[in-house]
Amino acid sequence: MRWLTQLFGTDQQPPQNTQHDLHRAAAALLLEVARTDGEVDEDEIRHLMDTVHLRWHLDPGEMLDIMGELEARLDQATDLFEFTAPLREHWDPETRVKLIEDMWAMAAADGKADVYEEHMIRRVSDLLYVSHGDYIRAKIKAMNS
């Protein structure tokens, strides 16, 4: 849980964000997309592992270790702001759009992107200050891949 405390800070200490911490926050958002439809199947887990390894060099062993922690944190989160705020503050617009594209690819990993996943990605897109045009382009690119 130490990395989560660093990412989100406490009442006594402001957050201290490393790139690795930000990548984990992004992985939590991808996991939340997978969980949105009520079940996470093997294709979604495989896609999540491949994405975090390829994009941010989080190895599968590390990802498995933190998945339980991420799920617990997501279950306790009142909204997605705590995950998106550090990313918005530290990532440039292109990197944030790439995350939206990855979220769309995650939504489609089980063969379909449902309305709940779409709603969640739209919320994250708004919290990351991703324009509607970039949101649509990310969706089209991910769905056509």
Q: What is the mean pLDDT of residues 3-17?
A: 55
How much is the pTM? 0.81
**Per-residue pLDDT tens digits for 94-118:** 999 999 999 999 998 877 888 999 9
Classify burial at 26, counting beta carbons within 10 Å of its beta carbon; exposed 0-12, middle 13-18, buried 19 or more.
buried
Is residue 133's pLDDT more than 90?
yes
Q: Where are the domains of the chain?
A: 18-143
In which region does residue 80 sit, left (phi positive, over 0), alpha (psi from -120 to 50) or beta (all else)?
alpha
Q: Mention the CATH class of domain 18-143.
A: mainly alpha
Q: By the 8 A CB rule, do 113 and 143 touch?
A: yes
Q: By the 8 A CB rule, do 30 and 40 touch?
A: no
Quote the Cα angle for 138-45-9, to 5°: 75
Quote the DSSP letter at residue 12: S
